Structure 1
Amino acid sequence: MAGPIAIGAGTLVPERAAETATARASRAMVAARLERLPMTRFQRTIFLIIATAWFFDSIDLGSLTFLLGSIKTEFGLSTAQAGLLSSMSFLGMFLGAGISGMLADRFGRKVVFQVSMIFWGLGSVWCAFAPDATALGYARLLLGFGMGMEFPVALAIVSEFLPTANRGRYLAIMEGFWPLGFIAAGCLSYVLLSTFDWRAVFLAQAVPALFLFVIRFFVPESPRWLADRGRYEEADRVMAGIEAKVGEHLGGRALPEPQPLPEQPRGEHRFSFLELWSPGYASRTVMIWLTWFFALLGFYGLTTWLGALLQEAGHSVTKSVVYTILISLAGVPGFITSAILVERWGRKPTAVLMLLGSAVAAYLYGHSPSFGWLIAFGLVMQFFLFGMWSVLYAYTPELYPTRARATGAGCASAVGRVGSLIGPYLIGIILPSLGHGGVFALGAGSFVVAALSVALLGIETKGQSLEAISH
């Protein structure tokens, strides 16, 4: 006879057991073929395309820092109302990040990434033509939804295409496109506000949504995801195309042989959100959710109000924009430093350093004795804040397996957006009573809590393949 059919929940027919073993081996082989590829122009091109879309997204997100003062004046908003308007973007990001991760784990990275760009493009156009503050709030909600969708999917794409030796550095560098986008948002605002009003800035930011056609034609679907979904023929076809392009860039040299990697269970019967709370992942989920929540509460609570606070201190709109851009320039060496340290020190110590540095600098910025010290402490603060962003985005997608990677990154980002939703509104409420010093002390305390979460609950992922981390 051919062996047992099925006795109890743990017994498989031999054919099913053989099929499961073959599936695990196929998934491990796809990952091994990816991991053994040297870094070439092909992977850098994929990275640059995703990072450019991230850059455009960051311009949209950062623009409100430079436009909030003008919008507040035009619509006659109180500080609490302006804070609520700021928070609408983050409400949209909360919804977008939470949904897109699960969609990307179910339907694929590429299609969800393209859809996200459509949403934030439409949101930008709506912002430009919003007739009142209520309509603008809904437009920012749609814009935030698109931006929130993009972040976790971009992280999954980049982390799944790059080999272990380069993954952390490039993920950290990609986040560095956020301060560049923030600076570009300031420059765009400075140029357009000198001739037009804030609406022109939003209209200009809608144009880069057309970049989705570049994604469509030049970025393949993740072969890791295809293999994890059991689509082995497609995964093999995509991998063959990737290997051919890498081989071309190597001048026809033979590729290294794939090295064995841990075989991962597919987990096809588990909803991806529940995977975050399975044994081995629950403590990681608690850690990264706490970190994202308090880090983003502090970050957006402070940076959204930077321009408006400078205007309240008596500086003109254009001068406040220039000062904010100047302060943000320190974010460039900040994310470069973080990109170096995540591979030399590791993700965990770099995250703790950047979060504690942000806490100290934020407190000092809020208690600056003069304008000169305000700029100096602002530079230090942005150095650590953007370094913090880089390590968070490098660290988060590494904590979960392929079947739940986008969901894990998306849910962490969504929880963070709750913090970013609360932060600007909370600042608008407490500013009249606590003043600038109290506002920045609150931000500093948030960063300390985030640092403690990583220090006490975090794991180190440096130098390990995605499969080894999730084994």
Structure 2
Amino acid sequence: MNYRKKTVVASVAGLTLEGMDIMFISFAMSMIISEFSIDLATGGLISSITNIGMLIGGVLFGILADKYGRVRIFTYTIILFAIGTALTGLATNIEQVYLYRFIAGLGAGGEYGIGMALVAEAWPKNKQGRVSSYVSVGAQYGVILAALLSAMILPVFGWRALFFVGVLPVIFAYIVRKNLDESPEWVAAQKEKQVESKKENGKLQKLFETPRIALTTVTLAIMATVQIAGYNGLMIWLPSMLQQSQGLSVSGSALWTISTAVGMIIGMLTFGQLIDRFGAKRSYGIFLLASASAVFLYSFAEGSVGVLIGGAIVGFFSNGMFAGYGALISSFYPVQVRSTATNTIFNFGRAVGGLSPILVGYILQSYDMTIAMTYLAALYCLSFIVMLSLKEKKELGSLEKHSV
């Protein structure tokens, strides 16, 4: 297997394991709440603390990967979220669950951007979009894997056993470390300007060094936040919305989830092709406006067929864009700060966008599904407006020049 394919396999597997780790909490939540006799809000805080860990881990490990190498730090992040996951199974109170999920979040937050940087530095520019989409689909594989493991383990062995499975990624980290060489582009950058480059690598202030770079960073952070806010708002609340508005059964909700996930996967693979062929601005412009329209119109869907097909269409556009963020963010930053930028920007989106379900829940409680979907549609319109400020890569020579 050549180096390019190895980076894809490693990054896909890393994101699959990360997605699996995150979803374990969702499947085990009811058992955890019951065992520790906590209320729903206290249980929901587990996810928020994990997101905070992701943001901190994303910044920290992004900087370290830019300074000391992609593969080495990539393996450390996998080991860390594996340890955090396994320790969760040993927790004796909710405070320990919070601590161990924070540790897992640190590792998971660092893994995403480093994997994306590895892929971006291994593949030519005209193929980075589709390769980024292959990696991004890994998160959906993780959801499926978590669902299968939960179905087999939870009824028989309980929630603790599920988290003990989370130690297995340590084996994967060992395999990666043994078989994957360091990024040639990163190695070349070290040799080219060894002392100066090492000092400059991974500096967070490089993301705001000039007004143009700062605007690019803020724009990408807003887009990432909308991406996560839209996904979480849709996936967490839509099944219950549909149960109320359409009289959908629990089994019908599961069918909806599968339909929407299939739409998401197809959308991600399609978006990867589009971004390579038509460029980032045009591709994101089309998908953002289509997402706003699809989400708004979906609030008027009727009948089981309309709900299922509409869910697949919403998933296609709204989550299809997820596939492009690795390629998009990587394209704006040079090798010296690429992992730092990707991890910081996307995990900021995770931390802030992860709060969206709270607002959606409030809207549903006070108003109705149409207002909630209008809010989500407005988010995609906001992302479209700020996206217009992005300059194509050929216009950003100053960014590369000022960042090295």
Counterpart pick for 2:386 among 433, 447, 453:
453
1:176 maps to a residue whose letter is V
CA distance in 1, matches of 2:161, 2:96: 16
Asked if structure 2 preserves the Cα contact closer than 8 Å seen for 1:333 and 1:383, the reply is yes
1:420–1:70 CA distance, 2 compared to 1 (3 A): farther
CA distance in 2, matches of 1:345, 1:286: 23
Q: Deviations over 1:130-185 (max 9, x none)?
A: 34444333332222211101011111111112222322221122112222222333
Alignment partner of 1:385 is 2:318: yes
Q: TM-score, normalised by structure 1?
A: 0.74
Aligned to 1:116: 77
1:69–1:301 CA distance, 2 compared to 1 (3 A): farther
The equivalences for 1:158-197 within 5 A come to: 158-197=119-158
CA distance in 2, matches of 1:158, 1:460: 20
Alignment partner of 1:324 is 2:285: no
1:386–1:83 CA distance, 2 compared to 1 (3 A): same
1:109 maps to a residue whose letter is R
1:363 maps to a residue whose letter is F
Asked if structure 2 preserves the Cα contact closer than 8 Å seen for 1:272 and 1:404, the reply is yes
1:72–1:439 CA distance, 2 compared to 1 (3 A): farther
Aligned to 1:277: 208
Alignment partner of 1:301 is 2:301: no
Asked if structure 2 preserves the Cα contact closer than 8 Å seen for 1:69 and 1:311, the reply is no
Q: Which runs of 5+ in 2 are unaligned?
A: none
1:448–1:273 CA distance, 2 compared to 1 (3 A): same
Asked if structure 2 preserves the Cα contact closer than 8 Å seen for 1:83 and 1:425, the reply is no
CA distance in 2, matches of 1:282, 1:87: 27
What SS class does the counterpart of residue 168 from structure 2 fall into?
helix
CA distance in 2, matches of 1:103, 1:270: 9
- Say which is worse superposed, 434-443 or 137-146, in terms of deviation: 434-443
- Say which is worse superposed, 212-221 or 157-166, in terms of deviation: 157-166
CA distance in 2, matches of 1:50, 1:201: 23
Asked if structure 2 preserves the Cα contact closer than 8 Å seen for 1:397 and 1:409, the reply is yes
1:44–1:271 CA distance, 2 compared to 1 (3 A): closer
1:131–1:305 CA distance, 2 compared to 1 (3 A): farther
- Say which is worse superposed, 182-191 or 48-57, in terms of deviation: 182-191
- Say which is worse superposed, 351-360 or 433-442, in terms of deviation: 433-442
Asked if structure 2 preserves the Cα contact closer than 8 Å seen for 1:120 and 1:143, the reply is yes
Q: Deviations over 1:195-243 (max 9, x none)?
A: 454444333333233200111111111222223234789xxxxxxxxxx
CA distance in 2, matches of 1:69, 1:308: 16
1:105 maps to a residue whose letter is D
Aligned to 2:400: 470
Q: Deviations over 1:314-358 (max 9, x none)?
A: 845x77555423421222211111111011111122122223333
Higher helix share: 2
- Say which is worse superposed, 148-157 or 288-297, in terms of deviation: 288-297
- Say which is worse superposed, 427-436 or 71-80, in terms of deviation: 71-80
CA distance in 1, matches of 2:294, 2:39: 28
What SS class does the counterpart of residue 470 from structure 1 fall into?
helix
CA distance in 2, matches of 1:378, 1:73: 32
CA distance in 1, matches of 2:259, 2:7: 31
Aligned to 2:218: 286
1:68–1:366 CA distance, 2 compared to 1 (3 A): farther
The equivalences for 1:199-238 within 5 A come to: 199-230=160-191
Aligned to 1:52: 13
1:124–1:305 CA distance, 2 compared to 1 (3 A): farther
1:195–1:358 CA distance, 2 compared to 1 (3 A): farther
The equivalences for 1:357-376 within 5 A come to: 357-376=290-309
Counterpart pick for 1:338 among 243, 255, 271:
271
2:80 maps to a residue whose letter is F
Alignment partner of 1:86 is 2:47: yes
CA distance in 2, matches of 1:73, 1:367: 37
What SS class does the counterpart of residue 181 from structure 2 fall into?
coil
Larger Rg: 1
Aligned to 2:337: 404
Alignment partner of 1:138 is 2:99: yes
Aligned to 1:414: 347
CA distance in 1, matches of 2:152, 2:249: 18
1:130–1:170 CA distance, 2 compared to 1 (3 A): same
Asked if structure 2 preserves the Cα contact closer than 8 Å seen for 1:86 and 1:304, the reply is no
Q: Which runs of 5+ in 1 are unaligned?
A: 1-39, 234-264
Aligned to 1:440: 373
Asked if structure 1 preserves the Cα contact closer than 8 Å seen for 2:117 and 2:339, the reply is yes
Asked if structure 1 preserves the Cα contact closer than 8 Å seen for 2:364 and 2:372, the reply is yes
CA distance in 1, matches of 2:157, 2:293: 38
Alignment partner of 1:128 is 2:89: yes
CA distance in 2, matches of 1:80, 1:426: 14
1:190 maps to a residue whose letter is A
Q: Deviations over 1:77-119 (max 9, x none)?
A: 5554444332222111111112111111122212211111111
CA distance in 2, matches of 1:179, 1:289: 22
Asked if structure 2 preserves the Cα contact closer than 8 Å seen for 1:100 and 1:112, the reply is yes
CA distance in 1, matches of 2:278, 2:29: 38
Asked if structure 2 preserves the Cα contact closer than 8 Å seen for 1:120 and 1:209, the reply is no
1:125–1:164 CA distance, 2 compared to 1 (3 A): same
1:297 maps to a residue whose letter is A
CA apart distance, 1:366 = 4.6
CA distance in 1, matches of 2:131, 2:197: 27
